[in-house]
A and B are shown apart, each in its own frame.
Chain A
Amino acid sequence: MDAGTVIAGILTLAILTFLYRDNPVYKLAESLLIGVSIGYFLVINWSNTIMDLMFVPLFTQGKLMLIIPLILGLLMFGRFNRKTTVLSRIPIAVLIGSGAGVAIPAMLDARTLQQMSATVTPILAPDGLPNISELVVMAGVITTLIYFYFSREHRGWWGKSATMGTYFLMIFFGTTFAYTVMSRMSTFIGRMEFLLSDFLKLTQ
């Protein structure tokens, strides 16, 4: 058995000890995971973004415009000194402003208009009978939106529609929950398989 499998097995068991209760072994493994993960993303971030997107094009291809994000990025370090902390607001302003400017048309298109147009479909099937499934979608979208509209009191027919909306929401939460359970379970089975076959060699 190679060293990698032994270490991976021990660390897997260390994390699993949390099932008993919070303990020093788990805390140590957790601290190691946090540290190593940050270190990994630091290296990948440095290599893929700061080097490949900035330093290499700036110094080898002479793309001088990249000085702008370099300066903005360096201004972020102003946060570490009380006197210079205001400087860090400039790159944040660029990020927030650009994000907001792009979000307005992009969100309106992808999240609102496209979703609405997908909802408004022919309610009659080609055979002339009502398309029940599409009617369900239309009713679901409208009633769920009514539920999220808080400027009017949920009473009378409006309240009944809002309650209907909660039923659709519960279906959505139920399906999402089931998928979450399945994904976690399959990961857990994967870890158990590793422990039993690769690490402990109890199964083939």
Chain B
Amino acid sequence: MTRKIPQIICALFGMTLFLLYFSQHPTARNLNLTILNDYFQIIFAFTLLVGVVSFVKVNLKAFERGEDRSYHLVSVIGVFIMPLLAIIWGIKGDSPFMWVFENIQVPMQATVFALLAFFVASASFRGFRARSVQATILLAAALIMLLSRSTIGDMIADQIPQIADWIRNYPSMAARRAILIGIGLGSLTTSLRVMVGIERTWLGGDK
């Protein structure tokens, strides 16, 4: 019963939303928007809260066990300091909350993002060896694309940007389109399996 009821709810909501998608009646459109925009977002917001509580619990447990205490403590302080600043001074543009966001979170996030440049570069040294036709094509496409977006590309040949644009708009677009068609068909079958109750992994392992 603990699995049957969620399955029935899932099928009911699935069928309702599926049918509402095709209806042009104002009530149906309004209901569709309400469920998708408001209900969805609110439930998602609560799932995020559940995630935060879980994160704090896991870190506090690790702190109690004495594993890498300072790191766990810093993480938990980070989680609590932001709401505290928001409660005391608000979240307007010149508030301490935004100051922390602009001077701590943004620079670190950008640097972590930038760090990946080095790992991408080292991965390309390993992956871009022209050992097969496929690897050679990969290398050539990436090289042309990189050259087209740098000054040196224009210096080598005027046609490089045009060739790069053609590659992006036609052969690359073709593969992208095929992948999208595959994603579409995959989502369609998975959604159908979920709605009719064949796919039940989302219920978890417990009885």
Complexed CA–CA distance, A70 and B42 (Å): 7
**With A37-B105, A43-B97, A53-B41 as given contacts, are A136 and B50 in contact (CB-CB < 8 Å)?**
no
Min distance, Cβ A178 to any Cβ of chain B, angstroms: 3
A172, B172: Cβ atoms under 8 Å? yes
- In the assembled complex, which residues on chain A have CB atoms less than 8 Å from the CB atom of B13? 93-94, 97-98, 101
Q: How many A-B residue pairs have CB under 8 A?
A: 390
B9, A27: Cβ atoms under 8 Å? no
A35, B77: Cβ atoms under 8 Å? yes
A93, B10: Cβ atoms under 8 Å? yes
- Of all chain A residues, the one with the shortest Cβ separation from B150 is A182
User: A-facing mask of B176-202, CB < 8 A → 1, else 0?
Assistant: 111111111101101110110000001
Option from B11, B43, B124, B169 in Cβ contact (under 8 Å) with A91:
B43
- In the assembled complex, which residues on chain B have CB atoms less than 8 Å from the CB atom of A98? 13-14, 17, 35-36, 39-40
Interface size of B by CB at 8 A reads 122
A93, B187: Cβ atoms under 8 Å? no
Min distance, Cβ B204 to any Cβ of chain A, angstroms: 7
**With A31-B71, A93-B9 as given contacts, are A188 and B171 in contact (CB-CB < 8 Å)?**
no
Q: Which of B15, B50, B140, B181 has the most CB of A within 10 A?
A: B181
A33 within 8 A of B: yes
A196 within 8 A of B: no
Complexed CA–CA distance, A112 and B183 (Å): 8
Q: Which of B122-151 contact A (CB under 8 A)?
A: 124, 133-135, 137-143, 145-146, 149
A139 within 8 A of B: yes
Min distance, Cβ B86 to any Cβ of chain A, angstroms: 4
User: A-facing mask of B159-178, CB < 8 A → 1, else 0?
Assistant: 00000001111111111111
User: B-facing mask of A90-123, CB < 8 A → 1, else 0?
Assistant: 1111111111111111111011100110110000
Min distance, Cβ A59 to any Cβ of chain B, angstroms: 14
Option from B42, B174, B191 in Cβ contact (under 8 Å) with A137:
B174
- In the assembled complex, which residues on chain B have CB atoms less than 8 Å from the CB atom of A70? 42
Q: Can you pick out 13 interface pairs between chain A and chain B where the beta carbons lie within 8 Å of each other?
A: A33-B78, A50-B45, A90-B5, A95-B44, A101-B20, A102-B21, A141-B174, A167-B134, A168-B172, A175-B141, A177-B120, A188-B115, A191-B114
Complexed CA–CA distance, A50 and B113 (Å): 30
Complexed CA–CA distance, A200 and B158 (Å): 39
B71, A175: Cβ atoms under 8 Å? no
Give chain A's interface residue range (CB within 8 Å of chain B): 35 or more
Min distance, Cβ B61 to any Cβ of chain A, angstroms: 13
A181, B121: Cβ atoms under 8 Å? yes
Complexed CA–CA distance, A6 and B165 (Å): 42
- In the assembled complex, which residues on chain B have CB atoms less than 8 Å from the CB atom of A7? 103-104
Option from B86, B133, B141, B188 in Cβ contact (under 8 Å) with A107:
B188
**With A34-B75, A76-B43 as given contacts, are A112 and B188 in contact (CB-CB < 8 Å)?**
yes
Option from A116, A140, A177 in Cβ contact (under 8 Å) with B124:
A177
Known: A32-B78, A142-B178; 20 extra A-B contacts, CB below 8 A, are: A12-B108, A33-B109, A34-B75, A45-B45, A46-B45, A53-B38, A76-B50, A90-B5, A97-B11, A98-B14, A100-B191, A101-B195, A106-B21, A107-B183, A171-B167, A172-B176, A174-B140, A185-B117, A187-B113, A187-B114
- In the assembled complex, which residues on chain A have CB atoms less than 8 Å from the CB atom of B116? 184
